[in-house]
C-alpha cells in the first residue's frame, strides 16, 4: 500500500514467537495509521478488564502514512496501551528518529503482547527480528543504555528504552528515545517494564512506496518552503515551546505552587529567554524537521547536559514547585529522563506532596526526613529518585500517581490533587480559562494538553465565557489536532508557524493515492475519539460524567495572588460546559455516546 511499510509485527513476549502479517487495507482505509491504528487494535485485541500490567495488555507502536517521508516533522509515532495510571485509554506520541527507521524496516505497527520470563530487548534489522537477553542491562539508566547500544550497533540504529522507573512500574513511567524524546504520558514505560522489555533497537533500509513521486516531491517542497518563509520561524527555532512561559505567567496560566496560582513571582528565572541565555548550547530536532524545537542545555552548576527542558517541564518543575531557577529545572528534567519517568506527572505529584507537607498533612516521618517545602531544589531531586525506585514511604506513595496518593493519604488532600481521570494535569492553570478547562476535562487520556490547546481561544473570546462556540472549538480541536498523530507527523508546524493545513492535502494524496480533505480527516478523528470514549465505558464500571470533572481547586479555590487572583470558574459553569459538550458530541447526559451516534460514525459493530 502506498505510504505504508506494509506489515504489522507481532511479538509475543511470553512465548518468544515473532510473526508478521500484512497491514490490513481496510484498517488503513478507516483508521489511517498512528493513533488510529492504536485505538483500533487496542479495542479489538485487548480483552475487557485486562490487567494493565499483566500479560493480556498490549503495547501498540504505530507509524502513519507520512512517517519517515520528506514531510516536515514526519518522525512521530504513537504508543497506545491500556493505561496502568488511569485504567483507561493511553496514547503517547514520540518524536525523534525511531519512527522513520521503523517504517524503513517495513513495519506500520509493532504489537507487543505477553510477559517475558526474563529481561529482553527487541532487535529489528529490516527482516531480522530477535528477542535478545537484557538481564545485564536491567537497572541501567536510559542515557547510558542508549549510548551503549549506539556503540554496539552503530549510530544509524535507533533506540527506545525504559529506565528504572519503567522497570519498577512507576505508573507514569515513560519510554525514552534519542536522549531527549519520550513517549511520555499514561504509563507506557510501565507497561513495557511489566513485559520485561528493556529496549527496542532498530534499523531499516527499505523504501516506502508512494503513489505519485513527482507530486510528492512538489507538495513536500511547498510545505518545506512554507515553513522556511514563516514569519515565526526564527523565534520558534530560538526558543521552542519555552517561549510560552513568560506569556503564561502574564496571563495567569503558569501553574504555581501546585496550581494555587497562575503567576509566579520568580517567573523570570525560568522564562524561555533566560533559559536561552543561560544554559542552551544548541538546537535539536526530530526527523525531517525544519524548525527544531528541542533545546540542548548545559547545566554548569551540576556539570550535566540534557535535551530540554521544554515548557511543560519548566512549568511543573519550576513555578509549580516554587523554583525559579532554570538550571535546577533542567537538572530535574535530566533526572526524570534518565530514570524514565514522565516530567508532567512527576511535577504534579511532587507539587501535591509539597502542598501536603506545608499544610502538615505529610510530615518528615512520611518524607524520610526531607524538608519538602516549595522551592527546595535538593528535596526535589531526592524525590524524583525515590519515585523512580519506589523508595521509602514517599517514593511508593507518589509512584502510583496523584489520584491514588491523595486517596491513600486522605485528610482533604484529594481537594488539591490536580488530575482528571487519574492523569496529572499538564502545565496550564485553568482557574479562569473555561475552554482549556473543558479540554482537560474531556481529553481522551486524562488531563493532557496536546489534544485541544484551547487557552489562546479563551483569551480571544473572554476567558470566563461559557458559550456553545467555545465548546465547539474544543471539539473541533479534539477531532483535528490528533490527526497529526494519526498521519505520523508533527502538528507544531501548523500550530506554531501557522502553516496552511491545506498544504498537507495534496501531499497526502500524492503519497497514498487517496484524496482526503481535512473534513474527511476530521471525520476519522471524530470516529477515533468515540472509539476511545467507548474504551473507557467498556473498561470502567459506572464510567460517566464524574470522570470528566476537573480538580476541585479550579471551581472552589480562587488564586490569592497573581493576575487571576480572585477569579474562578463557577461550579454551575463546569456543569454547563459538560452539558453543552455532550450534546454537541451526540452523547447522552452522562457522557456516553448514544447508539445513534455510534451508528452514524460507522463504529457500532466495533464497539458493541
Q: How far is the CB of 289 from ligand SF4 (least distance, A)?
A: 3
Q: Map the footprint of ligand SF4 across residues 49-88, applying CB under 6 A.
A: 73
CB atoms within 10 A of CB 270: 29
Please say whether the beta carbons of 320 and 427 come within 8 A.
yes
Binding mask 171-190 for ligand SF4 (x = CB under 6 A): --------------------
Indicate the residue among 95 and 591 with the shorter CB distance to ligand SF4: 95
Euclidean distance between CA atoms 430 and 355, whole angstroms: 18
Indicate the residue among 230 and 523 with the shorter CB distance to ligand SF4: 230
Q: How far is the CB of 539 from ligand SF4 (least distance, A)?
A: 30
What's the Cα-to-Cα distance from 45 to each of 53, 475, 518, rounded to whole Å?
16, 28, 29
- H or E, element range at 556: helix 553-556
Helix boundaries (H) for 172-241: 188-194, 213-229, 233-239
Residues 6+ apart with CB under 8 A from 520: none
Euclidean distance between CA atoms 70 and 223, whole angstroms: 10
C-alpha cell of residue 328: 535546577
Q: Map the footprint of ligand SF4 across residues 198-237, applying CB under 6 A.
A: none
Q: How far is the CB of 96 from ligand SF4 (least distance, A)?
A: 8
Q: How far is the CB of 174 from ligand SF4 (least distance, A)?
A: 15
| Residue 262 in the binding site for ligand SF4 (CB under 6 A) | no
Indicate the residue among 269 and 285 with the shorter CB distance to ligand SF4: 285
What's the Cα-to-Cα distance from 547 to each of 17, 325, 428, 443, 487, rounded to whole Å?
38, 36, 20, 11, 29
Number of residues that bind ligand SF4 (CB under 6 A): 11
Indicate the residue among 62 and 263 with the shorter CB distance to ligand SF4: 62
Q: How far is the CB of 95 from ligand SF4 (least distance, A)?
A: 4
End-to-end CA distance of the chain: 29
- H or E, element range at 531: helix 518-539
Q: How far is the CB of 490 from ligand SF4 (least distance, A)?
A: 3
| Residue 110 in the binding site for ligand SF4 (CB under 6 A) | no
Q: How far is the CB of 491 from ligand SF4 (least distance, A)?
A: 8
Q: How far is the CB of 236 from ligand SF4 (least distance, A)?
A: 8
Euclidean distance between CA atoms 168 and 165, whole angstroms: 5
Euclidean distance between CA atoms 59 and 181, whole angstroms: 18
CB atoms within 10 A of CB 9: 22
Q: How far is the CB of 247 from ligand SF4 (least distance, A)?
A: 18
Least Cα distance to 167 among 136, 196, 127 occurs for: 196
Least Cα distance to 156 among 108, 111, 198, 124 occurs for: 124
| Residue 490 in the binding site for ligand SF4 (CB under 6 A) | yes
Indicate the residue among 96 and 351 with the shorter CB distance to ligand SF4: 96
Q: How far is the CB of 307 from ligand SF4 (least distance, A)?
A: 10
Euclidean distance between CA atoms 397 and 387, whole angstroms: 8
What's the Cα-to-Cα distance from 377 to each of 298, 318, 331, 350, rounded to whole Å?
18, 10, 10, 11
| Residue 511 in the binding site for ligand SF4 (CB under 6 A) | no
Binding mask 276-295 for ligand SF4 (x = CB under 6 A): ---------xx--x-xxxx-
Least Cα distance to 579 among 455, 446, 471 occurs for: 471
Indicate the residue among 83 and 93 with the shorter CB distance to ligand SF4: 93
Write down how long the chain is. 608
Indicate the residue among 95 and 164 with the shorter CB distance to ligand SF4: 95
Indicate the residue among 87 and 292 with the shorter CB distance to ligand SF4: 292
Indicate the residue among 423 and 490 with the shorter CB distance to ligand SF4: 490
Indicate the residue among 158 and 413 with the shorter CB distance to ligand SF4: 158
Euclidean distance between CA atoms 255 and 429, whole angstroms: 5
Indicate the residue among 289 and 607 with the shorter CB distance to ligand SF4: 289
CB atoms within 10 A of CB 533: 23
Q: How far is the CB of 82 from ligand SF4 (least distance, A)?
A: 26
Euclidean distance between CA atoms 342 and 345, whole angstroms: 6
Q: Map the footprint of ligand SF4 across residues 294-333, applying CB under 6 A.
A: 294
Q: β-strand 7-12 against 107-113: which pairing, if any?
A: parallel
Binding mask 111-150 for ligand SF4 (x = CB under 6 A): ----------------------------------------
| Residue 492 in the binding site for ligand SF4 (CB under 6 A) | yes
Interface with ligand SF4 (CB under 6 A), residue from 3, 95, 114, 184: 95
Please report where in the chains the cell 540504529 appears, as a residue.
Answer: 157
C-alpha cell of residue 271: 522564562
Binding mask 28-47 for ligand SF4 (x = CB under 6 A): --------------------
Q: How far is the CB of 67 from ligand SF4 (least distance, A)?
A: 12
Q: How far is the CB of 81 from ligand SF4 (least distance, A)?
A: 22
- H or E, element range at 176: strand 175-177
Indicate the residue among 143 and 311 with the shorter CB distance to ligand SF4: 311
Q: How far is the CB of 242 from ligand SF4 (least distance, A)?
A: 12
Indicate the residue among 68 and 593 with the shorter CB distance to ligand SF4: 68
Indicate the residue among 286 and 475 with the shorter CB distance to ligand SF4: 286
Least Cα distance to 464 among 315, 580, 577 occurs for: 577
Please say whether the beta carbons of 546 and 574 come within 8 A.
no
Q: How far is the CB of 241 from ligand SF4 (least distance, A)?
A: 8
Indicate the residue among 247 and 302 with the shorter CB distance to ligand SF4: 247
Question: For residue 363, with 0-12 CB atoms within 10 Å meaning exposed, 13-18 middle and 19 or more buried, which class applies?
Answer: exposed
Query: Which residue ranges make up the site for ligand SF4 (CB under 6 A)?
Result: 73, 95, 285-286, 289, 291-294, 490, 492
Amino acid at each position: 500500500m502506498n505510504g505504508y511499510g506494509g506489515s504489522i509485527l507481532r511479538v509475543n513476549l511470553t512465548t518468544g514467537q515473532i510473526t508478521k502479517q500484512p497491514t490490513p487495507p481496510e484498517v488503513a482505509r478507516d483508521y489511517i495509521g498512528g493513533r488510529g491504528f492504536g485505538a483500533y487494535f487496542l479495542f479489538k485485541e485487548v480483552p475487557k478488564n485486562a490487567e494493565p500490567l499483566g500479560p493480556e495488555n498490549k503495547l501498540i507502536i504505530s507509524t502513519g502514512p507520512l512517517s519517515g517521508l520528506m514531510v516536515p516533522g514526519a518522525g512521530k509515532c504513537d504508543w497506545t496501551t491500556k493505561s496502568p495510571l488511569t485504567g483507561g485509554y493511553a496514547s503517547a506520541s514520540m518524536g525523534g528518529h525511531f519512527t522513520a527507521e521503523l517504517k524503513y524496516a517495513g513495519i506500520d505497527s509493532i504489537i507487543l503482547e505477553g510477559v517475558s520470563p526474563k529481561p529482553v530487548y527487541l532487535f529489528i534489522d529490516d527482516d531480522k527480528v530477535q528477542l535478545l537477553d537484557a538481564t545485564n542491562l536491567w537497572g541501567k539508566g536510559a542515557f547510558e543504555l542508549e549510548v551503549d547500544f549506539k556503540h554496539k550497533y552503530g549510530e544509524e540504529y535507533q533506540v527506545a528504552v525504559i529506565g528504572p522507573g519503567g522497570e519498577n512500574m512507576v505508573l507514569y513511567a515513560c519510554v525514552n528515545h534519542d536522549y531527549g524524546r519520550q513517549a511520555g504520558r499514561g504509563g507506557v514505560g510501565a507497561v513495557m517494564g511489566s513485559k520485561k522489555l528493556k529496549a527496542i533497537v532498530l534499523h531499516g533500509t527499505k523504501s516506502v512506496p508512494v503513489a505519485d513521486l513527482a507530486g510528492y516531491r512538489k507538495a513536500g517542497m511547498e510545505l518545506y518552503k512554507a515553513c522556511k518563509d514563516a514569519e515565526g520561524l526564527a523565534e520558534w527555532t530560538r526558543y521552542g515551546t519555552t517561549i510560552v512561559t513568560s506569556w503564561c505567567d502574564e496571563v495567569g496560566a503558569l501553574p504555581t505552587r501546585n496550581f494555587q496560582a497562575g503567576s509566579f513571582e520568580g517567573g523570570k528565572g525560568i522564562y524561555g529567554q533566560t533559559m536561552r541565555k543561560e544554559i542552551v548550547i544548541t538546537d535539536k530536532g526530530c526527523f525531517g524537521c525544519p524548525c527544531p524545537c528541542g533545546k540542548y542545555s548545559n547545566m554548569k552548576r551540576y556539570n550535566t547536559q540534557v535535551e530540554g527542558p521544554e515548557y511543560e517541564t519548566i512549568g511543573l518543575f519550576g513555578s509549580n514547585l516554587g523554583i525559579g531557577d532554570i538550571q535546577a529545572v533542567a537538572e530535574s528534567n535530566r533526572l526524570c529522563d534518565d530514570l524514565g519517568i514522565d516530567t508532567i506527572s512527576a511535577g504534579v505529584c511532587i507539587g501535591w506532596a509539597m502542598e501536603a507537607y506545608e499544610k502538615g498533612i505529610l510530615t518528615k516521618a512520611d518524607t524520610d526526613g526531607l524538608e519538602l517545602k516549595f522551592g527546595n531544589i535538593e528535596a526535589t531531586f531526592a524525590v524524583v529518585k525515590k519515585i523512580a525506585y519506589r523508595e521509602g514511604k514517599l517514593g511508593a506513595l507518589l509512584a502510583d500517581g496523584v489520584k491514588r496518593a491523595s486517596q491513600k493519604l486522605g485528610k482533604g488532600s484529594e481537594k488539591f490533587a490536580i488530575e482528571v481521570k487519574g492523569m496529572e494535569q499538564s502545565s496550564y492553570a485553568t482557574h479562569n480559562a473555561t475552554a482549556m478547562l473543558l479540554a482537560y476535562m474531556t481529553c481522551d487520556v486524562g488531563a493532557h494538553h496536546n489534544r485541544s490547546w484551547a487557552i489562546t481561544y479563551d483569551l480571544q473570546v473572554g476567558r470566563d465565557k461559557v458559550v456553545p462556540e467555545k465548546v465547539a472549538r474544543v471539539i473541533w480541536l479534539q477531532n483535528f489536532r490528533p490527526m497529526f498523530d494519526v498521519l505520523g507527523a508533527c502538528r507544531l508546524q501548523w500550530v506554531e508557524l501557522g502553516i496552511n493545513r491545506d498544504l498537507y492535502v495534496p501531499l497526502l494524496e500524492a503519497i497514498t493515492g487517496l484524496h482526503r480533505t481535512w473534513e474527511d480527516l476530521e471525520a476519522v478523528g471524530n470516529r477515533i475519539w468515540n472509539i476511545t470514549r467507548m474504551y473507557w465505558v467498556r473498561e470502567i464500571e459506572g464510567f460517566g460524567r464524574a470522570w470528566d470533572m476537573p480538580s476541585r481547586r479550579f471551581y472552589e479555590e480562587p488564586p490569592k495572588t497573581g493576575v487571576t487572583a480572585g477569579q474562578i470558574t463557577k461550579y454551575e459553569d463546569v456543569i454547563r460546559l459538560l452539558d453543552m459538550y455532550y450534546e454537541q458530541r451526540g452523547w447522552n447526559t452522562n457522557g456516553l455516546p448514544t447508539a445513534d451516534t455510534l451508528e452514524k460514525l460507522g463504529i457500532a459493530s466495533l464497539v458493541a
